[in-house]
Chain A
Amino acid sequence: MIEMENVSARFEDSAGVVIDALKDVSLAFGPSTVHAIIGPSGSGKTTLLHIIAGILKPASGVVRAGDVTLSDLGEGARDAWRRKNCGLIFQDFRLIDELGPLGNVLVPSWFGRNGRADIRKSALDLLNRFEVPERSGPVAMLSRGQQQRVAMARALVLSPQIILADEPTASVDKANAERIIGELGRLADEGRTVVVVSHDERVAASAGRVVEILNGTLTSDTTQAAPTRAGGLN
């Protein structure tokens, strides 16, 4: 369970003007649900996601993840927490171009003491599950759909309990978008907490809960009893 209490975030733009990206937001994200964060560009969705991930420390308020008060931790501790607990998926995939698909999936295991042989097996299983050939040269040679699936495999390789996705369907075609939406639902069904920032109505339709943010303020929070799920990846 991730809890946010009266969380605010501020930035200074290039002209030195202070922008309130989030204003007193209080939210909780439980397991086994896809939480869709929607809202127009610049509304604070990605900032919210970064705060949940520990990438950004809130200007005020408290963020808890289980027993850990994330907002009290220093950067190094937040990195370690994120490494252990979060899998991140980005709109533009953010793969390491120099590496192949398997290398990209294995990357998170190189940060700590995760050099176990079973990590490699997990990575291969994930690539197989997501239908990405393991020896297909540099990752940049893959289709965009395959690249996003490699990014999903990377997010899952250390079996994190929290999946944070920022516009995961924005850069892929309809078929791949539906597969990704289905897979996110499946991850929630496995008991994970899935938070997805998206403009995509299909993502919102498939989510168990839809949170809308406008100008850094929570404007609606809706639970959907019967979300529409696409097929997923097997």
Chain B
Amino acid sequence: MNPWPIIFASLWRFRFTVLAFVFLIVAGTALSVAITMQERALKTGSASAAEKFDVVVGPVGSRTDALLTSVYLQPGSSRLLSPERTAELLNDERAEFVSPLAFGDSVRGQPIVGVTAELPEHLSGGAMLEGRIFTERFEAVVGIDVDLRVGETFTPSHGVHAAADQMEADGHDVEFEVVGRMTRTGSPWDRALVVPVEAVWGVHGLQTGGETIGGPYTAENAAGIPAAVLKAVSVADAYRFRQEYNTDETMAFFPAEVLIQLYQTLGDVRQVMTLMALVTQGLVMLSVVASVLILFRLFMPQFVTLRAIGAPRLYIFLVAWGFVAILFTAGIVLGIGAGYLVALVLSKIIEAQIGIALTPLLGRPELILALSLWALGLAIAVLPALRLQRQSLAAALKAY
């Protein structure tokens, strides 16, 4: 039995209608696929960006705020640890290192972060991609996406500005030399200019640390900081630091625990959006089937002729079902591709905005979703085919 020539000829005859149906299915499928892919890319990207930050310590307040400030370099709360607490924290010799984070300046909209040398080395995987780590107060290392070469200099502007004229108006009277470039971190740190914390304090008229950069720090030579990153020697140590630094004055947390809370919120939103996408997809499928039922009225003379010249009912069923099944199959396959492209474009846009490397990948959830939609489509495709089976041939010959 060979229904294909009739199916293909019918698809060609109604090609513009067929394209419209396929487009509807593509749109519905792409929406569903893009939502799940994007959500997973956001989770993976944000978790990957945070994985080198063992424990974040900051003044008591919002942990989400502290996480966004420290890991994702988003402007946040202006609350600071006291100089005493800062010195105590930065001098904690039980940790592999504790790096302060100091903000407030930028270059062409890219943030300048004051740290100690251990943090950029750690984020860069132990070695610079190019050059070396800073050793002097007005030296800097830059993230891989910063448009400054090793040996170039820059003057920081106060705050985060995009416009060059404002930069000049609010510029500090100091100059930093770029001495190194970090490897790619997949985080907003790829767009950061990292300088000694003492320099950040200094240009803001605060304490300037000791004679050399990198400590030791005292309540007298340290300024307050909004957050610090603590690298523990072991997992057990990390848990101990987290417990010990949760006091009346300080809070400590693992970035992952805050991310999980964020993911739960994100997950709820995703569930609502996925449900909406699935409902949309279902409505698309039903509207396609309803339209196909109308379209099949145009096919009826052909179907009746086929029956009259000896086609078994199964043949008519296969032609009708095959026609609709091809629409759904093409729509869903193209929809997966379109969904992937949408997720890719969205990822690039979000990546450009927040600096987190997002890599949307087609995975099991999308394949299961697509297979479910496909199976549903093939099942729904039976409806018009079954409807045709109810006709009496002699009556149909008269009617058509």
Contact = CB atoms under 8 A, between A and B. Distances in A.
Contact of A79 (B2, B311, B394): B311
A8 to B, nearest CB: 15
A97 interface: yes
A99 B5 contact: yes
A63 to B, nearest CB: 14
Interface stretch (B9-17, B27-35, B281-289, B366-374): B9-17
A101 B304 CA distance: 19
Contact of A94 (B305, B310, B315): B305
Contacts of B311: 79, 83, 111
Interface in A101-148: 103, 106-108, 110-113, 115
A98 B9 contact: yes
Nearest to A103: B5
Given A79-B310, A103-B5, A96 B305 contact: yes
Contacts of B6: 96, 98-99, 107, 110
B302 interface: yes
Main secondary structure of the interface of B (DSSP, over half): helix
A15 to B, nearest CB: 15
B307 interface: yes
B9 A94 contact: no
B312 A111 contact: yes
B302 A86 contact: no
B108 interface: no
A199 interface: no
Interface string B264-285: 0000000000000000000000
B306 interface: yes
A79 B312 contact: yes
Contacts of B350: none
A94 B5 CA distance: 17
A70 interface: no
Interface size class of A (residues with CB under 8 A): 20 to 34
Interface in B1-45: 1-3, 5-6, 9-10, 12-13
Size range of the interface on B?
20 to 34
A227 B315 CA distance: 41
Contact of B309 (A76, A88, A97, A113): A88
A28 interface: no
A55 B9 contact: no
A110 B311 CA distance: 8
Contacts of B2: 110, 115
A88 B308 contact: yes
A50 interface: yes
B256 interface: no
Nearest to B395: A11
B164 to A, nearest CB: 65
A56 interface: yes
A113 B385 CA distance: 22
Nearest to A53: B308
Interface in B292-316: 301-302, 304-313, 315
Contacts of B162: none
A135 to B, nearest CB: 15
A97 B307 contact: no
Interface of B: 1-3, 5-6, 9-10, 12-13, 301-302, 304-313, 315, 393-394, 397
Given A83-B309, A99-B6, 11 more contacts: A50-B394, A53-B308, A79-B311, A90-B308, A94-B304, A96-B6, A98-B10, A98-B12, A110-B1, A110-B5, A113-B1
14 contacts: A55-B393, A55-B394, A75-B393, A76-B312, A76-B313, A88-B309, A96-B306, A97-B13, A98-B9, A107-B6, A110-B2, A110-B5, A111-B312, A112-B1
The 6 A-B pairs with the shortest beta carbon distances in the complex, nearest first, are A83-B310, A98-B9, A94-B305, A110-B2, A98-B13, A56-B394
